[in-house]
Structure 1
Amino acid sequence: MVMQEVFKQLIKNEIAPLFKENGFKKKGNNFAKLFSDFAWTVNIQSSKWNTKEEVEFTINTGIFTDKLYGMGYRKEPPKFPTEINSVLRHRISELKNEQDYWYKINLSSDLEKVKDEVRSDIENLVFPYFKKFQTIEDVMQEMKREEAEDFYGSDFDLTILYQVYGFNKEAQERMMKAYNHYDYIQDREYIRDLADELNLSIDKQNTL
């Protein structure tokens, strides 16, 4: 039995129907539930070390918004929202409070047990996590909270969203803080260009 085929069947018969029942669309091993200003995104990632005898995979989550494209991300947004192009990206490991969690399928695996675990994690961890994000304000609030805890993220994603959604004062303050933080000319030129696009100003009196 080739484990890659077992993995494909697990996605087709167990994972995909679960997401579909909860309003997600599917493209490959990616799932997205669309809202007016953002999307919940999921990627089922298989390990690059997989063999015929053993497959490992994990679940990645994110929040996608096309408002970052054309400004922060200088390209067209993808037609299908994906986790890799999202903010607030987290693996199932973090939702499970585990180190680096991967599900395993091999010849000695209890496949029903693996199915039950994956189903339980999606229903009891992934969906409840996503339900925290009902509005774009919820998304921005969580981005601000994670930023304060030094999670990895762009300095400018939240600034862009603040400006797009009318939080002009917050956007202005963040842009000035970023400009004062960076010393390299190239960084400052990028920040100036972005500020111009967002109709924000760089106050020279505060850049010393």
Structure 2
Amino acid sequence: MTEEEKINIKEQFNYIVKNGIAPILKSAGFRKKGNNFHAHAGELDWCINIQKDGWGFDRYFNQWGFTINIGVTWSDYAICLFNKVSDFPLEGYCPIRARIGTIMGKGDY
């Protein structure tokens, strides 16, 4: 795969996040930082991360993949574990986590 193809794939990924996923999540009350989204609802914090596959592209074919990670946390948990509450918690620090493919019964992706 050429450098130009890799750049094109990154641009496609960024376009999908920016113009496809972000508007839907923002309309549902999520805030965005990079490929992370956060929404506070009642006592819960909902965290979503858009994760590229291991390399961001398949080195043999001109294709790429990503998955969506979902996490849920709450203030008492953050205080007990981290001694503070974040204004923008990340999915990786949530005690309850799942990948969208697992939730849909399709495995990791």
Shift of 1:85: 1.4
TM-score, normalization by structure 2? 0.79
Which contiguous aligned blocks of 4+ residues in structure 1 show a shift greater than 6 angstroms? none
**Cα displacement (A) at 1:87:** 2.2
1:92 aligns with: 100
The partner residue of 1:17 within 23, 27, 41 is 23
Aligned partners of 1:82, 1:36: CA distance in 2, in Å? Answer: 17
The residue that corresponds to 1:76 in the other structure is 84
Q: Displacement, 1:75?
A: 4.2
Deviations 1:144-194 (A, max 9, x none): xxxxxxxxxxxxxxxxxxxxxxxxxxxxxxxxxxxxxxxxxxxxxxxxxxx
Aligned partner (choices 50, 55, 70) of residue 61 of structure 1: 70
Structure 1 pair 100/69, CA: closer, same or farther in 2 (3 Å)? closer
* Letter aligned with residue 99 of structure 1: G
Which residue identity is paired with 1:15? I
Give distance in 2, aligned partners of 1:16 and 1:22.
10
- Note the aligned Cα RMSD (angstroms): 1.9
Q: CA deviation at 1:74?
A: 3.6
Deviation at 1:91, TM superposition (A): 0.4
The aligned runs of 1:120-159 (5 Å cut-off) are none
- Structure 1, unaligned runs of 5 or more: 102-208
Q: 1:5 and 1:16 mapped to 2: Cα distance?
A: 15
Q: Which residue of 1 aligns with 2:35?
A: 29
Aligned residue in 2 for 1:170: none
What SS does structure 1 have at the residue aligned with 2:51? strand
1-structure distance, mates of 2:42, 2:22: 23
Q: Is the 8 A contact 1:34 1:40 kept in 2?
A: yes
Alpha-carbon distance in 2 for matches of 1:43, 1:56: 14
8 Å CA contact 1:4–1:55 kept in 2: the answer is no
* Aligned mates of 1:7, 1:75 — CA distance in 2: 36
Higher relative contact order (CA 8 A, sep 6+): 2
Indicate the structure with greater helix content: 1
For the Cα contact (< 8 Å) 1:64–1:82, is it kept in 2? Answer: no
| Residues paired across the two proteins, number | 100
Q: Percent identity?
A: 34
Q: Secondary structure at the match of 1:89?
A: strand
Q: How far off is 1:68 after superposition?
A: 1.5
